[in-house]
Amino acid sequence: MKRFLILWIVFLSGAIFSFQLARAEENIPKMLSIGTHPSGTFVFTQGAAAAKVITDHAKIRATVKPMSGPVAWFPYMDRGEVDLGILNMWDAEKGYLGESMYGKLSNEKGFSIRLICPTITNKIGMVVIKDSSIKNIPDLKGKRVAGNYPTPSLQLQAEALLANGNLSWEDIVAVTVNNPGQDTSMLMAGRADCTGSTALGQPQIEELNTKKGARFLPLDPSPEATARMRKFFPGFMAKVKPGPGATGIQEEQFLWGYDMYLIAGSKLSDEAAYLITKALWENHKELEAIHKNLVEWESKRFVSKLATIPYHPGAVRFYKEKGVWDTEMENLQKSLLNKK
């Protein structure tokens, strides 16, 4: 009788484990999509890099869906038609809370999004043709600047960059663009004198540099100029030097830095979020092979005490297993969840 009972317990435990394993596998999609900015932007590059690592190591086929930014793909994510997305910390926070233009877009509810991990520090500036007479931000007064972006964060970035030189949108001639990255095309075609907000490492800068030469305008790192910028967009001064991945930088100078995020819709299962986080954590060194500037996307950045939206439960489970999720992070998570 005792032997029979032991065998029955072993059988039952195996059956329960098999059932749980089957349930878990059911919750792991075979395919998922990643929302990004248009092809040619550095946001797209980050999405493509994530897709490759996820496909290779999480065994989930990931594809990139380039759109005009989160303003376009947030609604798809809420419906479960876009699974992951790359965006900046400002768009993430405003989208989560339903603030700025995301209020109307989400019926004042905000979008149900969760953080997987920060990616890199994005470094932005304004770009001119290499031999342009424009040497710094104040020189842009009265010049044609490509902007009026459809994504609010990009427009605020452009206004922050102008504010560095004590200029406003009224001091320049605005050239409207339809999507991120089109400002570089406007510059190449001679329809603008400067881009509004351009990321270091953006593939389109390589094309511009090959055809006409590209040069980032230096920022004034003074406390006064920095304070003017933060009135428009959060961030910090980031020193950059000439070298691989720094096309458009002729000498050491400052650009504006801020965190980028890989996020997920809350409809993504905990099992899938766990596997995605694990794949990126364990294989982040492969990201640098895709683009030099992705060397910063490393595991020590994954858990951030400056997070502006709550983490996905599946990611949290992985971070707890790694021992990097502490009481401070638990309190931050609760605080962010309580904001809604």
State pLDDT tens for residues 228-277. 999 999 899 999 999 988 999 999 999 999 999 999 999 999 999 999 99
pLDDT at 3: 53
In the predicted structure, residue 312 carries a pLDDT above the cut 50? yes
Distance CA(261)–CA(43), nearest Å, equals 10
CATH tag, 29-122+259-338: 3.40.190.10
- What integer pLDDT is reported at residue 298 of this predicted model? 95
The pLDDT score that the predictor gives to residue 26 is 60
Q: 309 in helix, strand or coil?
A: coil
Q: Which of 103, 116, 111, 154 has the alpha carbon at shortest distance from 34?
A: 116
What's the rounded mean pLDDT across residues 273-290? 96
Mean pLDDT of 289-307: 93
Long-range contacts of 332-336 (CB under 8 A, 24+ apart): 332/305, 332/307, 336/307, 336/308, 336/309, 336/310
Query: Which pLDDT score, from 0 to 100, does residue 189 have?
Result: 93
Give phi and psi for 114, each to the nearest 5: -140, 150
**Average pLDDT of the residues of the chain:** 91
Identify residue 125 by its one-letter amino acid code: G
Tell me the C-alpha distance between 226 and 164, whole Å: 7
Instruction: Kindly give, in sequence order, each residue whose CB lies less than 8 Å from that of residue 10, ignoring residues fewer than 6 positions away.
Output: none
Q: How far apart are CA 288 and CA 1, in angstroms?
A: 61
For 139, 163, 256, the CA distances from 173, given in Å and listed in that order, are 13, 15, 22
According to the model, what pLDDT value does residue 191 have?
Answer: 95
Q: Let me know how long the chain is.
A: 340
Strands, E assignment, the chain: 31-36, 61-66, 84-88, 113-125, 127-129, 144-147, 173-176, 198-199, 214-216, 236-240, 253-265
- Model confidence band, residue 24 (pLDDT cutoffs 50, 70, 90): very low
Distance from the Cα of residue 331 to its chain's centroid? 24
pLDDT attached to residue 225 = 98
Average of per-residue pLDDT across 175-181? 83
Which pLDDT value is given to residue 51? 98
More confidently predicted of 203 and 102: 102
Distance CA 69, CA 150 (A): 8
pLDDT over 90 percentage in the chain: 80
Please state the pTM of the whole predicted model: 0.80
What's the pLDDT score for residue 178?
A: 83
The predicted model gives 8-23 an average pLDDT of 41
Higher pLDDT, 77 or 340: 77
Among 20-29, 79-88, 242-251, the least confident range = 20-29
**18 pLDDT above the threshold of 60:** no
CA 3/CA 97 separation, integer angstroms: 59
Q: Pick the residue with more confidence: 298 or 181?
A: 298
Q: What is the pLDDT of residues 148-169, one digit of tens each?
A: 887 788 899 999 999 999 999 9
The residue to which tokens 């877009």 are assigned: 105
Residue 292, pLDDT score: 87
Note the pLDDT of residue 245: 86
Sorted by where each begins, the domain ranges of the chain are: 29-122+259-338, 124-258
Question: Residue 197: CB partners within 8 Å, gap ≥ 6?
Answer: 124, 125, 126, 147, 149, 154, 157, 158, 161, 183
Domain 124-258: what homologous superfamily? Answer: Periplasmic binding protein-like II (3.40.190.10)
* Confidence tier at 63 by pLDDT (50, 70, 90): very high
Give the closest residue to 168 by CA, choosing from 231, 218, 215.
231
Beta strands in 43-195 (DSSP E): 61-66, 84-88, 113-125, 127-129, 144-147, 173-176
The count of other CB atoms within 10 Å of the CB of residue 131 is 8
Residue 160 CA to residue 226 CA, distance in Å, equals 9
Crossing angle (nearest 10°) for helices 70-78 and 89-97: 50
What integer pLDDT is reported at residue 154 of this predicted model?
Answer: 87
